[in-house]
Amino acid sequence: MRLFRNFFTKEPLNPAKSNRMLVTRDKQGRAHVAMHSTIFSDVNENILASNSMFADLLNDIQPCIEPYSVKEKIVMDVFETKVSNDFARDTVIIGFKRYVNSCLYGLKKQHLSRFFLFFSFLVFGVLIEFILYFLVQKYVGAEFTSHWLFKSVEVLGTLFIWQFGGYLAFEFLGERKQLNRYKQIANIEFEFKHWDWFPAFFIIRMHYGFSSRY
């Protein structure tokens, strides 16, 4: 067991999380992912689709595409035990895309507000450093400035600058990836297949390469 972590040492890749996986593609180069969902057949019977249903569908899709790059064009092969009609499918797909786009809009606003907040820290920190090292040193003189006060304000300015640097290093890229993932989900194409348990198990096993190990 490792008692420390060296940030300059590359950690070994977890095969389960590696993007180097066998990807099933069609002639258009789109990656195919399989899932089972009842939302389309439920809408087919009840003629009702709610945001909670779209949220459940989003939660089902996200783990399926997580191993894939956000740049991949995804086709979701939906296996149904009860066949839905075209009206129900169009209703769910249109509503789901609107739901994902609304989530994406909220994430964009949050991302921009956080970026400008931390960017304002950077500007404020640089302004403090400019005042201390240019204006005070040039026009006031260090001998007229209390040393502890000068150092305290200097630390404050450095802290604001490092806040922006820490945000870029540890949060900015993650937020961008999340935005790109939602864009990818909003552009997912759906294809529907009937689920007949016995033959479908072997078809999916050959087509998607499911492992027999659990």
**DSSP conformation class of 115:** H
pLDDT band at residue 7 using 50, 70 and 90 as cut-offs:
very low
CB burial readout 27-62, b (16+ within 10 A) else e: eeebbbbbeebbbbbbbbeeeebeeebbeebeeebe
Q: Which residues pair with 13 in a beta bridge?
A: none
3-state helix, strand, coil in the chain (%, to 5): 60, 10, 30
Cα–Cα distance between 54 and 96 in angstroms, integer?
A: 6
Contact 31, 75 (CB under 8 A): yes
**Pick from 102, 107, 101, 96: nearest CA to 179:** 107
Work out the percent of the chain whose per-residue pLDDT is above 90.
52
Cα–Cα distance between 133 and 140 in angstroms, integer?
A: 11
pLDDT at 2 over 70: no
Contact 61, 190 (CB under 8 A): no
pTM for this prediction = 0.73
pLDDT tens-place string over residues 142-182: 555 567 677 778 888 899 999 999 999 999 999 999 999 99
Question: When comparing pLDDT for 206 and 151, which is higher?
Answer: 151
pLDDT tens-place string over residues 52-110: 999 999 999 999 999 999 999 999 999 988 889 999 999 999 999 999 999 999 999 99
